[in-house]
Amino acid sequence: MKSWRVLAAFILAIVLLLFPLSAEAAKFSSSRFAGYKPMSNADFSGQTLIGEEFSKVKLDQANFSKADLRGVVFNSAYLEKANLHGADFTNGIAYLVDFRDADLSDAIFTDTMLLYSTFDNVDITGTDFTNAVLDGPELKKLCAKASGVNSKTGVSTKQSLECKS
């Protein structure tokens, strides 16, 4: 099951390399949250941020609790001690993101790409990672602390990470 996700991620990367967005398309996908802006302690709790992009942004201690983050992209973002409790990050991308000491409890990370992101000392109680793509060492780290069941999806964290034992 994990191998097809890795294969899909690889194919997506090849397609993006072979068929990059045109400059015109890129112009319309620019983010209002880009460019190494310090947004520490920002409050996005309960907000609908579908499809937004947070690129090269410092979001330490930001509050995304119960936010609708479906399809959101965090690219080279710093989310140390951020609160994503109960957030829905389905179909999102977190590339090169530092989630150190973040509260990810009861969040939904279904079908999310989490490549090159770090999860040191995070709270993942009840987080649903079904079909999420993670780097091997980070997956092992998360499996060691996985517990709980997501209140919305009913899926256990261990089951969603496909932890062995």
Please list the pLDDT of the chain residue by residue as tens digits (165 residues).
566 666 666 665 565 555 554 433 333 344 566 555 667 899 999 999 999 999 999 999 999 999 999 999 999 999 999 999 999 999 999 999 999 999 999 999 999 999 999 999 999 999 999 999 999 999 999 999 999 999 999 999 999 999 986
CA torsion 106→80→9→70, rounded to 10°? 50
Q: Give me 11's structure tokens.
A: 């194919």
- Assigned CATH topology for domain 1-10+37-165: Pectate Lyase C-like (2.160.20)
- The secondary structure of 50-67, three-state, reads CCCEEECCECCCCECCCC
Q: How many CB atoms lie within 10 A of CB 7?
A: 10
Distance CA 90, CA 116 (A): 18
Question: To which residue do tokens 């995070």 refer?
Answer: 122
Domain regions of the chain by residue span: 1-10+37-165
Which long-range contacts (C-beta less than 8 Å, at least 24 apart) are formed by 53-60?
Answer: 53/29, 55/31, 57/33
State the pLDDT at residue 40.
Answer: 82
Q: What single-letter amino acid sits at 60?
A: D
